[in-house]
Amino acid sequence: MTTDFPAAAATDDHIFATWLAGAAGDRLLEVRSQGLEGRELKDAGDAAAQALIAELLAEHRPDDAVLSEEAADDKSRLQSKRVWIIDPLDGTREFSEPPRDDWAVHVALWEDGDLTVGAVAQPALGETFNTGTPSVVPPRTSTRPRIAVSRTRPPAFVQALAEEIDAELVPMGSAGVKVMSVVRDVADAYIHAGGQYEWDNAAPVAVARAAGLFCSRVDGSELAYNQDNVSLPDLIVCRPELAEQIVDFVKRNGTD
Protein backbone atom coordinates (compact mmCIF):
# COMPACT_ATOMS: atom_id res chain seq x y z
CA MET A 1 0.00 0.00 0.00
CA THR A 2 0.96 3.64 -0.52
CA THR A 3 -0.47 4.58 2.87
CA ASP A 4 2.90 5.29 4.54
CA PHE A 5 2.56 9.04 4.88
CA PRO A 6 5.43 10.95 3.25
CA ALA A 7 6.72 13.62 5.61
CA ALA A 8 6.71 16.30 2.91
CA ALA A 9 2.98 15.74 2.36
CA ALA A 10 2.28 17.43 5.70
CA THR A 11 2.96 20.82 4.14
CA ASP A 12 3.05 20.20 0.36
CA ASP A 13 -0.43 19.79 -1.15
CA HIS A 14 0.94 18.47 -4.45
CA ILE A 15 2.75 15.63 -2.71
CA PHE A 16 -0.26 14.99 -0.51
CA ALA A 17 -2.68 14.79 -3.45
CA THR A 18 -0.37 12.45 -5.34
CA TRP A 19 -0.01 10.20 -2.30
CA LEU A 20 -3.75 10.25 -1.60
CA ALA A 21 -4.71 9.32 -5.18
CA GLY A 22 -2.09 6.58 -5.20
CA ALA A 23 -3.25 5.15 -1.88
CA ALA A 24 -6.85 5.01 -3.12
CA GLY A 25 -5.64 3.39 -6.32
CA ASP A 26 -3.82 0.70 -4.35
CA ARG A 27 -6.98 0.04 -2.35
CA LEU A 28 -8.97 -0.29 -5.57
CA LEU A 29 -6.50 -2.80 -6.97
CA GLU A 30 -6.94 -4.84 -3.79
CA VAL A 31 -10.73 -4.76 -4.19
CA ARG A 32 -10.39 -5.77 -7.83
CA SER A 33 -8.35 -8.83 -6.85
CA GLN A 34 -11.04 -10.23 -4.52
CA GLY A 35 -13.04 -12.10 -7.16
CA LEU A 36 -16.09 -9.82 -7.18
CA GLU A 37 -17.95 -9.16 -10.43
CA GLY A 38 -20.38 -6.70 -12.00
CA ARG A 39 -22.42 -4.46 -9.72
CA GLU A 40 -20.90 -5.99 -6.60
CA LEU A 41 -17.41 -5.04 -7.78
CA LYS A 42 -18.50 -1.53 -8.77
CA ASP A 43 -20.14 -0.87 -5.42
CA ALA A 44 -17.23 -2.31 -3.45
CA GLY A 45 -14.75 -0.14 -5.37
CA ASP A 46 -16.73 3.07 -4.91
CA ALA A 47 -17.20 2.42 -1.19
CA ALA A 48 -13.61 1.37 -0.44
CA ALA A 49 -11.98 4.30 -2.24
CA GLN A 50 -14.39 6.84 -0.72
CA ALA A 51 -13.85 5.47 2.80
CA LEU A 52 -10.07 5.60 2.51
CA ILE A 53 -9.95 9.09 1.00
CA ALA A 54 -12.40 10.47 3.58
CA GLU A 55 -10.37 8.94 6.41
CA LEU A 56 -7.05 10.30 5.14
CA LEU A 57 -8.41 13.78 4.44
CA ALA A 58 -9.93 13.92 7.92
CA GLU A 59 -6.58 12.88 9.40
CA HIS A 60 -4.21 15.04 7.36
CA ARG A 61 -6.31 18.01 6.17
CA PRO A 62 -9.01 18.26 8.87
CA ASP A 63 -9.75 21.96 8.35
CA ASP A 64 -10.46 21.68 4.62
CA ALA A 65 -13.85 21.16 3.00
CA VAL A 66 -14.53 18.21 0.69
CA LEU A 67 -16.73 17.73 -2.36
CA SER A 68 -16.88 14.07 -3.41
CA GLU A 69 -19.03 12.16 -5.87
CA GLU A 70 -19.60 9.49 -3.24
CA ALA A 71 -20.61 11.71 -0.30
CA ALA A 72 -23.39 14.15 0.54
CA ASP A 73 -22.67 17.71 -0.58
CA ASP A 74 -21.93 19.83 2.48
CA LYS A 75 -22.72 23.34 1.27
CA SER A 76 -20.48 24.85 3.95
CA ARG A 77 -17.75 24.30 1.35
CA LEU A 78 -19.05 27.44 -0.40
CA GLN A 79 -17.64 29.52 2.48
CA SER A 80 -14.36 27.60 2.62
CA LYS A 81 -11.09 28.85 1.14
CA ARG A 82 -9.87 25.30 0.52
CA VAL A 83 -12.00 22.52 -0.96
CA TRP A 84 -10.82 19.06 -2.03
CA ILE A 85 -12.77 17.88 -5.08
CA ILE A 86 -12.72 14.09 -5.26
CA ASP A 87 -13.81 11.31 -7.56
CA PRO A 88 -12.81 8.15 -5.70
CA LEU A 89 -13.36 5.95 -8.77
CA ASP A 90 -13.78 7.50 -12.20
CA GLY A 91 -14.72 4.89 -14.77
CA THR A 92 -16.59 2.43 -12.56
CA ARG A 93 -17.72 0.45 -15.60
CA GLU A 94 -14.14 -0.06 -16.78
CA PHE A 95 -12.98 -0.88 -13.24
CA SER A 96 -15.54 -3.70 -13.18
CA GLU A 97 -14.18 -5.20 -16.41
CA PRO A 98 -10.69 -6.57 -15.62
CA PRO A 99 -8.14 -6.29 -17.12
CA ARG A 100 -9.23 -2.88 -18.50
CA ASP A 101 -6.91 -0.10 -17.34
CA ASP A 102 -8.95 2.98 -18.38
CA TRP A 103 -10.24 3.98 -14.93
CA ALA A 104 -8.81 6.50 -12.47
CA VAL A 105 -8.82 8.24 -9.09
CA HIS A 106 -9.21 12.05 -9.05
CA VAL A 107 -7.94 14.34 -6.28
CA ALA A 108 -8.01 18.13 -6.77
CA LEU A 109 -7.68 21.14 -4.48
CA TRP A 110 -9.59 24.36 -5.12
CA GLU A 111 -8.28 27.43 -3.29
CA ASP A 112 -9.69 30.96 -3.28
CA GLY A 113 -11.40 30.71 -6.65
CA ASP A 114 -9.37 28.28 -8.76
CA LEU A 115 -7.81 24.85 -8.94
CA THR A 116 -4.28 24.81 -7.55
CA VAL A 117 -3.48 21.11 -7.13
CA GLY A 118 -4.43 17.95 -8.95
CA ALA A 119 -3.54 14.28 -9.12
CA VAL A 120 -4.98 11.61 -11.39
CA ALA A 121 -3.98 8.05 -10.58
CA GLN A 122 -4.32 5.34 -13.20
CA PRO A 123 -3.66 2.42 -10.87
CA ALA A 124 -3.74 -0.31 -13.49
CA LEU A 125 -0.92 1.51 -15.31
CA GLY A 126 1.02 2.22 -12.11
CA GLU A 127 0.95 5.97 -12.91
CA THR A 128 -0.16 9.06 -11.00
CA PHE A 129 -0.12 12.25 -13.05
CA ASN A 130 0.11 15.34 -10.87
CA THR A 131 0.70 19.07 -10.64
CA GLY A 132 3.75 18.74 -8.39
CA THR A 133 5.83 17.17 -11.14
CA PRO A 134 3.92 18.35 -14.22
CA SER A 135 4.04 16.24 -17.33
CA VAL A 136 5.77 17.69 -20.36
CA VAL A 137 3.53 16.98 -23.33
CA PRO A 138 5.76 15.56 -26.06
CA PRO A 139 5.68 16.81 -29.64
CA ARG A 140 2.70 15.43 -31.48
CA THR A 141 3.44 12.08 -33.09
CA SER A 142 0.29 11.76 -35.21
CA THR A 143 -0.27 13.17 -38.68
CA ARG A 144 -4.04 13.48 -38.06
CA PRO A 145 -5.52 14.90 -34.85
CA ARG A 146 -6.77 12.21 -32.45
CA ILE A 147 -9.88 12.94 -30.36
CA ALA A 148 -10.61 10.88 -27.26
CA VAL A 149 -14.28 9.93 -26.99
CA SER A 150 -16.48 7.75 -24.84
CA ARG A 151 -16.36 4.11 -25.86
CA THR A 152 -20.07 3.77 -25.02
CA ARG A 153 -21.58 7.24 -25.73
CA PRO A 154 -19.52 9.14 -28.34
CA PRO A 155 -21.25 12.49 -29.04
CA ALA A 156 -22.52 12.98 -32.60
CA PHE A 157 -21.11 16.53 -32.81
CA VAL A 158 -17.60 15.20 -32.17
CA GLN A 159 -17.97 12.91 -35.19
CA ALA A 160 -18.89 15.97 -37.28
CA LEU A 161 -15.91 17.88 -35.85
CA ALA A 162 -13.62 14.97 -36.71
CA GLU A 163 -14.85 15.02 -40.30
CA GLU A 164 -14.27 18.77 -40.59
CA ILE A 165 -10.69 18.74 -39.24
CA ASP A 166 -9.79 15.26 -40.58
CA ALA A 167 -9.37 13.77 -37.10
CA GLU A 168 -9.66 10.19 -35.93
CA LEU A 169 -11.71 9.15 -32.88
CA VAL A 170 -10.04 7.17 -30.11
CA PRO A 171 -12.59 5.46 -27.81
CA MET A 172 -11.72 4.91 -24.14
CA GLY A 173 -13.21 4.86 -20.65
CA SER A 174 -13.18 7.39 -17.83
CA ALA A 175 -13.11 11.17 -18.22
CA GLY A 176 -9.84 11.36 -16.34
CA VAL A 177 -8.27 8.77 -18.61
CA LYS A 178 -9.40 10.73 -21.67
CA VAL A 179 -7.82 13.93 -20.38
CA MET A 180 -4.62 12.07 -19.43
CA SER A 181 -4.54 10.59 -22.94
CA VAL A 182 -3.92 14.14 -24.20
CA VAL A 183 -1.22 14.65 -21.55
CA ARG A 184 0.38 11.34 -22.65
CA ASP A 185 0.17 12.01 -26.43
CA VAL A 186 -2.24 9.13 -26.87
CA ALA A 187 -4.78 11.70 -28.09
CA ASP A 188 -4.61 15.34 -29.08
CA ALA A 189 -7.99 16.50 -27.77
CA TYR A 190 -10.91 15.51 -25.58
CA ILE A 191 -14.22 17.27 -26.21
CA HIS A 192 -17.27 16.46 -24.12
CA ALA A 193 -20.82 17.76 -23.87
CA GLY A 194 -23.88 16.14 -22.36
CA GLY A 195 -23.20 15.93 -18.66
CA GLN A 196 -20.38 15.89 -16.15
CA TYR A 197 -19.89 17.16 -12.63
CA GLU A 198 -17.02 19.04 -11.02
CA TRP A 199 -15.44 15.85 -9.66
CA ASP A 200 -15.35 14.32 -13.14
CA ASN A 201 -12.85 16.82 -14.46
CA ALA A 202 -11.37 19.02 -11.68
CA ALA A 203 -8.24 16.94 -11.07
CA PRO A 204 -7.71 16.10 -14.76
CA VAL A 205 -8.04 19.78 -15.71
CA ALA A 206 -5.54 20.83 -13.02
CA VAL A 207 -3.03 18.28 -14.32
CA ALA A 208 -3.67 19.21 -17.96
CA ARG A 209 -3.23 22.92 -17.28
CA ALA A 210 0.05 22.25 -15.49
CA ALA A 211 1.21 20.34 -18.57
CA GLY A 212 0.46 23.35 -20.78
CA LEU A 213 -2.74 22.13 -22.42
CA PHE A 214 -5.75 24.30 -23.30
CA CYS A 215 -8.78 23.74 -21.04
CA SER A 216 -12.18 25.43 -21.26
CA ARG A 217 -15.92 25.00 -21.60
CA VAL A 218 -16.97 24.08 -25.15
CA ASP A 219 -17.76 27.72 -25.94
CA GLY A 220 -14.25 28.74 -24.88
CA SER A 221 -15.31 30.19 -21.51
CA GLU A 222 -13.55 29.50 -18.22
CA LEU A 223 -14.18 26.39 -16.16
CA ALA A 224 -15.43 27.26 -12.66
CA TYR A 225 -15.28 25.00 -9.61
CA ASN A 226 -16.69 24.91 -6.08
CA GLN A 227 -20.00 26.23 -7.37
CA ASP A 228 -23.38 25.85 -5.67
CA ASN A 229 -24.55 23.79 -8.65
CA VAL A 230 -21.80 21.22 -9.26
CA SER A 231 -22.95 20.36 -12.79
CA LEU A 232 -20.18 21.09 -15.29
CA PRO A 233 -21.63 19.54 -18.42
CA ASP A 234 -19.06 20.28 -21.11
CA LEU A 235 -15.31 20.46 -21.54
CA ILE A 236 -12.46 20.89 -24.01
CA VAL A 237 -8.93 19.75 -23.24
CA CYS A 238 -6.56 19.89 -26.16
CA ARG A 239 -3.18 20.85 -27.49
CA PRO A 240 -3.07 24.65 -27.73
CA GLU A 241 -2.68 24.61 -31.50
CA LEU A 242 -6.08 22.89 -31.91
CA ALA A 243 -8.07 25.11 -29.53
CA GLU A 244 -9.16 27.80 -31.99
CA GLN A 245 -10.42 25.26 -34.55
CA ILE A 246 -12.39 23.30 -31.96
CA VAL A 247 -13.99 26.28 -30.23
CA ASP A 248 -14.88 27.84 -33.59
CA PHE A 249 -16.56 24.60 -34.72
CA VAL A 250 -18.66 24.42 -31.55
CA LYS A 251 -19.69 28.07 -31.81
CA ARG A 252 -20.81 27.54 -35.41
CA ASN A 253 -22.48 24.16 -35.00
CA GLY A 254 -23.38 23.68 -31.33
CA THR A 255 -23.30 20.32 -29.61
CA ASP A 256 -26.79 18.94 -30.42
Q: What is the CATH classification number for the domain harbouring 117? A: 3.30.540.10
Summarised one tens digit per residue, pLDDT across range 66-94 is 999 999 999 999 999 999 999 999 999 99
Which residue, among 112, 138, 131, 150, has the nearest Cα to 203 in the 3D structure? 131
Is residue 138 assigned to a domain? no
Q: Where is the domain boundary, 130, 158, 183?
A: 130
pLDDT in tens, 98-153: 999 999 999 999 999 999 999 999 999 999 999 999 998 888 888 899 999 988 77
Domain membership flag for residue 28 = yes
Mean per-residue pLDDT for 159-168?
95
Residues 19, 126: one domain? yes
Q: Which sign, positive or negative, has the C-alpha torsion 183, 187, 188, 193?
A: negative
What is the domain extent for residue 189? 146-253
- Residue at which a domain ends, from 130, 162, 185: 130
Give the per-residue pLDDT at 104: 98
Confidence of residue 3 (pLDDT cuts 50, 70, 90): low
Q: Answer yes or no: do 105 and 154 share one domain.
A: no
Cα–Cα dist 198/225, whole Å: 6
Task: Please tell me the distance from the alpha carbon of residue 148 to that of residue 176, in angstroms, as a whole number.
Answer: 11
pLDDT tens-digit readout, 192-212: 988 899 999 999 999 999 999
**Percent over 90 (pLDDT), the chain:** 89
Rounded Cα gap, residues 11 and 255, in angstroms? 43
Same domain, 104 and 211: no
List pLDDT tens digits, range 215-249: 999 999 999 999 999 999 999 999 999 999 999 99
E strand spans, 39-196: 65-68, 82-90, 104-111, 114-122, 127-130, 146-150, 168-172, 189-193
Domain check: are 106 and 52 in the same one? yes
Residues 23 and 123 in one domain: yes
Co-location of 152 and 244 in the same domain: yes
Look at residue 2 and tell me whether its pLDDT is greater than 70: no
Same domain (yes/no): 209, 179: yes
